[in-house]
Amino acid sequence: MTSPISSERLMQRIVEFAAIGRDPGGGITRPFGSDADFEARTAFHREVIEAGLEYQVDAAGNQWGRMPGHEASAKTIAAGSHLDTVPHGGAYDGAAGVLMSLEVLQSLAARGYRNRHPLAVVAFTGEEPNPFGLSTLGSRLYTGRLGSAQLMTHTSDNGRLLTEALRRVGGDLANCDSLDPDEIGAFIEPHIEQSGRLDAADLPIGVVDRITGIYRDHITLTGEQNHAGTTVLAHRRDALHAFSHAVLALNALLREPWPHWMVGTVGQVHVYPNAVNIVPSQVVFTVEIRSTDVDQLQHAAERYRQRLEQAMTSLSIAVTIRNILNQAPQPLSADLQRILVNAAQSRGVAPPILNSWAGHDATHMARRVPTGMLFIRSLAGKSHCPDEASRAPDLAMGAEILHDALIALDQT
């Protein structure tokens, strides 16, 4: 079968976006609100126009490239992902899905494809954790999962107003409640797999049936600041020593024989006052637990809190726990899985059906509109790191399958 898309143009764009927010030693840092994020948005705007699509930014700052359809009442069929990155991340998480979707629409437009439904590529605002402490920001605002009223005075960790950051990218927080996902008839998020199942099976493509749940707590341990030389061990209330118990308690909990898939991570830590000759007074950190089973996720989170409190009491350390995310696992549309599997099969690929162990904008879209996800093989399963990589032929195959799936959706 001939390819309906240009693999060269897709790879050229992936390389072009990988240069935006590039860290000196490799890796990409492009969080929502940064200059690099702004630069990527500007580049995407330009590419959307160059592709012959209509450009629009919604109130949440989500960027859309649209191909109007010829049937006035037909709902939009959309595909896309995000352009922001984690700190020191890779070139494919998010950007690959946006640029594959753009490539498909550009190819259709260039061929003069007469679509019934409006077709759209979307780049959602701030999917990754960012200084505002709000991941999947654009998709949560778009689907009404986050209300704007509670965010009007929300600031980043260095005091910047969210309203200002959104205004800079063409959004308008006060108007987010007027966003209406009912305009979308179907959404597909193409994304790199980010784990090693496809690579191990030597398969280029997978289809997702469910996205993991994610639970996150922000925890503060408070002890007592004192002199590192003169304070005998028996008199110390060392917050960093206590923190080591907190990490080991999480690890022990996760290693119990749980019936369903589950992982957990302490990924962010701040120590105060962080000096070589001071017993630390305070440690502030995050705990994240993920599972594809909602009951297990809640149960594990509850058990962790109890164990942490017990351990800290015995060490005379005060604990405060603030939940910052509690997102249930999300099944995806069975119809879209079938359409994606059929599209893959007719291009000679038998895609496995996989859970997503990463979170996505698709989690929130799926609560409001029929949503599907296509996975592209990640080499050695690496992601959220500079070594993250996928091969050009796999990305092209993903774009071809997306192309065929969008046409199937347009014609039904």
Residues that bind Mn ion (CB under 5 A): 93-94, 127-128
Residues 297-326 that bind ligand GLV (CB under 6 A): none
Least distance to ligand GLV from the beta carbon of 136, Å?
Answer: 9
For the record, the structure tokens of 349 come out as: 């690929």
Contact 219/320 with Cβ under 8 angstroms?
yes
Phi and psi, residue 292, nearest 5°: -85, -5
Residues 225-244 that bind ligand GLV (CB under 6 A): none
Closer Cβ to ligand GLV, 280 or 329, answer by number: 329
Among 115, 112, 111, 141, smallest CA distance to 126 is for: 141
384 labeled part of a ligand binding site: yes
**Distance between CA 394 and CA 379 in Å, rounded?**
11
Phi and psi, residue 361, nearest 5°: -60, -30
> Is it true that the peptide bond before 24 is cis, omega within 30 degrees of 0?
no
**Distance between CA 107 and CA 109 in Å, rounded?**
5
**Distance between CA 303 and CA 292 in Å, rounded?**
17
Least distance to Mn ion from the beta carbon of 207, Å?
Answer: 17
For the record, the structure tokens of 60 come out as: 């949440």
Q: Which of ligand GLV, Mn ion, none does residue 199 bind (CB under 5 to 8 Å by kind)?
A: none
191 labeled part of a ligand binding site: yes
For the record, the structure tokens of 221 come out as: 């341990």
403 labeled part of a ligand binding site: no
Closer Cβ to ligand GLV, 107 or 212, answer by number: 212
216 labeled part of a ligand binding site: yes
Closer Cβ to ligand GLV, 128 or 193, answer by number: 128
158 labeled part of a ligand binding site: no
Least distance to ligand GLV from the beta carbon of 135, Å?
Answer: 7
Residues 110-129 that bind ligand GLV (CB under 6 A): 128
Closer Cβ to Mn ion, 237 or 364, answer by number: 364
Closer Cβ to Mn ion, 127 or 217, answer by number: 127
For the record, the structure tokens of 181 come out as: 């996902």
245 labeled part of a ligand binding site: no
**Distance between CA 180 and CA 143 in Å, rounded?**
7
Least distance to ligand GLV from the beta carbon of 212, Å?
Answer: 8
Strand partners, 215: 289, 326
Identify each DSSP E strand in 103-183 by its residue range: 119-124
What is the β-pairing status of strands 63-67 and 119-124? antiparallel
Least distance to ligand GLV from the beta carbon of 358, Å?
Answer: 3
Least distance to ligand GLV from the beta carbon of 263, Å?
Answer: 11
**Distance between CA 222 and CA 114 in Å, rounded?**
63
Closer Cβ to ligand GLV, 179 or 358, answer by number: 358
Angle between helices 392-410 and 95-110 (to 10 degrees): 60
Residues 127-156 that bind ligand GLV (CB under 6 A): 128
Q: Which of ligand GLV, Mn ion, none does residue 31 bind (CB under 5 to 8 Å by kind)?
A: none
Contact 125/171 with Cβ under 8 angstroms?
yes
Among 143, 156, 154, smallest CA distance to 58 is for: 143
364 labeled part of a ligand binding site: no
Closer Cβ to ligand GLV, 206 or 280, answer by number: 206
Least distance to ligand GLV from the beta carbon of 61, Å?
Answer: 18
**Distance between CA 301 and CA 30 in Å, rounded?**
30
- Give the x-and-dash track for 347-366 against ligand GLV (CB under 6 A): -----------xx-------
Residues 359-398 that bind ligand GLV (CB under 6 A): 359
Closer Cβ to ligand GLV, 163 or 383, answer by number: 383
Least distance to ligand GLV from the beta carbon of 148, Å?
Answer: 23
131: helix, strand or coil: coil
**Distance between CA 411 and CA 374 in Å, rounded?**
20
Q: Which residues are annotated as a binding site for Zn(2+)?
A: 82, 93, 128, 191, 384
Q: Given the rule CB under 6 A, which residues bind ligand GLV?
A: 128, 358-359
Q: Which residues are annotated as a binding site?
A: 82, 93, 128, 191, 216, 277, 290, 384
Q: Which residues are annotated as a binding site for allantoate?
A: 216, 277, 290
